[in-house]
Structure 1
């Protein structure tokens, strides 16, 4: 019997880092600046430092697990293999809230952008065009997806660099704090720790995307580069967020300059560089959203592929790899179809529910390190092992717990309902646990 086609290994280290950064959308620091500045009493960059610390511990856990289980399934695979197939399924199902809905949110943002520029054109047209392009590129080639994504990411990072230069000039001329180097964006007398943590819960989700890198493990030219790519993505993304947040906060110590605080990117660009720079910077926001759309679309397609390959979802459809393009074509098209729902009304609640799925994944990746190394492999006989495989993931899980505490109530309720649906589905496919959830076989790994 001929072996089923596998995913194509075509991604180098920086291609994977680019996909992670594209998923994270670096320009989001300017979109959320007004909200976070209000929440933190004017210390946005400090909130990003706190969030970066949380994400680094979880990133280290992802790096450890992807070395042990070099599969495209991410938190789903790690939980499945270290705890139980049932728990793995629930984690994978919950993660779909993050992975499956984010491409739809990107399509919604694109719709909003184009509708504001061309109000006379029906908004649904932009959704259809955008989804068709992103779906087509993802079906065509993972390499092409990576190349397009890299171009967009480089473009938006260059624009952020231009913003920093313009902000430097404005600060030198006396705008805002009136000085380039100041501690005010990081700490001042009115700052309260609880307010900083509240802001950190918002900006932490700017980092969502580094975890999706593990979805590309089976398409990495050298799978050993994936842990490095995870760490680099978090560090580079965190540095961009911090620098952008610092200069924005130095220029705008409070939000009194802004007419609209829910999305301050256009006004930040306007006050920093004028009308022309505003239009150019908005083009960077378009590029950032498109890059995130490409990366998130590719990631969820791989998660569905692994779940289908394992037989948790119907294998004929979800486990299918196109023989020519070597991509999970059915899943890519399915994600595109779901993204078309962005034609409909406001997706504020759905956007909030994404956070629930991400926190489920972050929590269980940290716990899977403990389950594998401490419980299964008995790696607790030296101080070094205890630190690496117990203390560090416990810190990661604990810091993630802080984010759970500040999770939006509607997001929690929506997430619990989604998990309940997944549990019912699991009862059906196992005949109320009379049958096992399909295990990974030796043929599952991609060549």
Structure 2
């Protein structure tokens, strides 16, 4: 029987849409109060700083996805350029990021619905949401992409409406009283340390640009992947910057907010009244659902590649549905894990997501150096030195800045996860007497 593979059906903008959906464009409204407080009122400057950090790592992702056009992302890059054992650990760490984000999206949806319908049990909303997201992902990546694109478009349209309303409010004297102001970017009370702290918070809004590499085997042409990565970063960064700039111009400080942990509802109310508030919340629903679709599908593909390579049981994790040509078992498994969003609090879970993401970012940068400099000896010209050594070294260093600001709970939880992965790897290689190095990268045409 011929092996069933993933279906190549995604064009450039479909992949970019999935990346933007993963990033959740409306998150800038939710985190505005927190970041404004951290940065002393320069939210857009924090986004510029974060975008700068992400661009170096995005550059490395673009290089590696051309060499290894696999759905495995950082896992594949590390195992093929450094060590199969190290690749497994990086993939295992990345799972912490990828596999928990769908659950967090389910939690956010649950919280939204509970605020509107407090008398309905939490499990009803989580089960309904997870069931829909899971079925769409099984149905096919084309269906997932189409629905994701509609949800992202709706969220972006609402952000455009917000900008128009903000322009009107500023013209009427609200906040700074003009859009021609540099106060949201720089003022006398700006401190570098505060900006870096804020950048650490908003950097994780960019998590998602890396996830588009998971669709390398479903792209109609794998050559579009580097462009898709950079477009996702730039467009996502532009959305976050514009949103942050107008919000900061309207609200120079956070004194007008009753709730600073999630300022989206109040921003909608103050800028456009009750009606726009409801529409903005609806946009947040759409953006969160889009992120749920994209994150659910991407982690399913990471599990698929790890199963196909034998890192996880191949018959289950390497299975592709013969009709829908999607990793159906993995999709269902992620759906089952997402049901844990029924529990009342996932504060620790949301914090340790960052642990896996930063490990992936770090090793993608190091993979560029390992492959091009050490393996291919591409360091004899200025262009090669810049592309394959200087850029990834800067990317690694900037990622290190984020590591230095990681929450202690995230470090503890992440290290515990790594220990579990190491024990599993020992089980694979010792007890089963299987050499992890026997498994090789499989290029899919």
TM-score range with shorter-chain normalisation?
over 0.9
Matched ranges for 1:236-385 at <5 A? 236-385=235-384
* Partner residue, 1:387: 386
How far is the alpha carbon of 1:409 from its aligned partner?
0.8
1:344–1:328 CA distance, 2 compared to 1 (3 A): same
For normalisation by structure 2, the TM-score amounts to: 0.99
CA-CA distance at 1:440 after TM superposition? 4.3
Counterparts of 2:307 and 2:344, CA distance in 1: 31
Unmatched tracts of structure 1, length 5 or more: none
Aligned equivalent of 1:175: 174
**Secondary structure, counterpart of 1:32 in structure 2:** helix
Tell me, which stretches of 5 or more residues in structure 2 are unaligned?
A: none
Deviation of 1:249 after TM superposition, in Å, equals: 0.2
CA distance in 2, matches of 1:47, 1:278: 25
Q: Distance in 2 between matches of 1:219 and 1:167?
A: 40
Quick check: 1:414 aligned with 2:413?
yes
- Distance in 2 between residues matched to 1:153 and 1:303, nearest whole Å: 23
What SS does the corresponding residue of 2:430 show, helix, strand or coil? coil
Give the Cα separation in 2 of the matches to 1:205 and 1:278. 25
**CA distance, structure 2, for counterparts of residue 276 and residue 134 of structure 1:** 28
Counterpart secondary structure, 1:216: helix
**Match of residue 12 from structure 2:** 13
After superposition, the C-alpha distances for 1:144-166 in whole angstroms (9 at most, x for unaligned) are 00000000001000000000000
Alpha-carbon RMSD across the aligned residues, in angstroms, is 1.0
**1:375 Cα offset (Å):** 0.6
Q: Deviations over 1:339-390 (max 9, x none)?
A: 0000112001100000000000000000000000001111111111111100
CA contact under 8 A between 2:68 and 2:443: conserved in structure 1? no
Higher mean C-alpha deviation, range 197-206 or range 381-390: 381-390
Write the mapping of 1:37-436 to structure 2, written as runs, cut at 5 A.
37-431=36-430, 435-436=434-435
1:399 CA drift (Å): 0.5
**CA–CA separation in structure 1 for the residues paired with 2:39 and 2:82:** 38
Contact 2:171 2:178 in 1 (8 A): yes
Number of residue-to-residue matches in the alignment: 445
Q: Distance in 2 between matches of 1:324 and 1:435?
A: 32
1:446 aligns with 2:429: no
Q: Judge which range, 430-439 or 32-41, deviates more.
A: 430-439
1:18-59 CA-partner distances (Å, limit 9, x unpaired): 000000001000000000000000000000000000000000
Runs of 4+ in 1 over 6 A off after TM superposition: none
